Amino acid sequence: MEQILRGARHAIEHSEFLPTLHRMHECCQQGLADLGLPTARNAYLEACNAPSPKAAQRWSHPAVYLAGRDSDWFLLAGSPERDSWPVFERHYRDYCARVMRGETLEVPRERALKRHEPEPLPVEEQLAQLRKLRDETGL
C-alpha cells in the first residue's frame, strides 16, 4: 500500500497527465529507489552472486542481505531460478515493506571465533600415544 502511495506521489510530481499502468509501475519502483532499495531483480542477482562470507560483503541495502539469508544462501546458489526467485522475491518484498514503514534494517555483525590455543601433551603421554599408534598400525 505504501509503495503504491509513494508511486502515485512520484507520478503526480513528475507527470503532466494521469499515468498509465506501466508508468505507475515504474513510479512504484522509483519509490523504492528513493529509499535506497534496488529493484527486486537487481537485489536477487546481488544476493545470488555474493561471495562468502555473506555478512562481510558490501550490500546495496541491508534488505538484500536479509532477504538472501531468509531465502537460504544454499537455495540461491544451488537451485534453478524458477525455484529460488519466488522465495527470494517474497522475502525481499516483506523487507521493502518494512523499510517503507520506517523501520531501519541492519546486517548483523560477524562474530569472531574465540581463539583456542591448544596445550601440548606431556612428553610421557606423547610417547604413550606414539606407542599406541605403532601398535595399531603394525609399524
Map out the domains of the chain as residue ranges.
Answer: 1-34, 39-110
What's the start-to-end Cα distance of the chain, in Å?
Answer: 76
- pTM of whole model > 0.75? no
Specify the higher pLDDT residue, 13 or 129: 129
pLDDT at residue 6 tops 70: no
Question: Residue 14 has what pLDDT?
Answer: 72
Question: Residue 35 has what pLDDT?
Answer: 76
pLDDT in tens, 18-45: 667 666 666 666 667 777 889 889 999 9
Specify the higher pLDDT residue, 1 or 84: 84
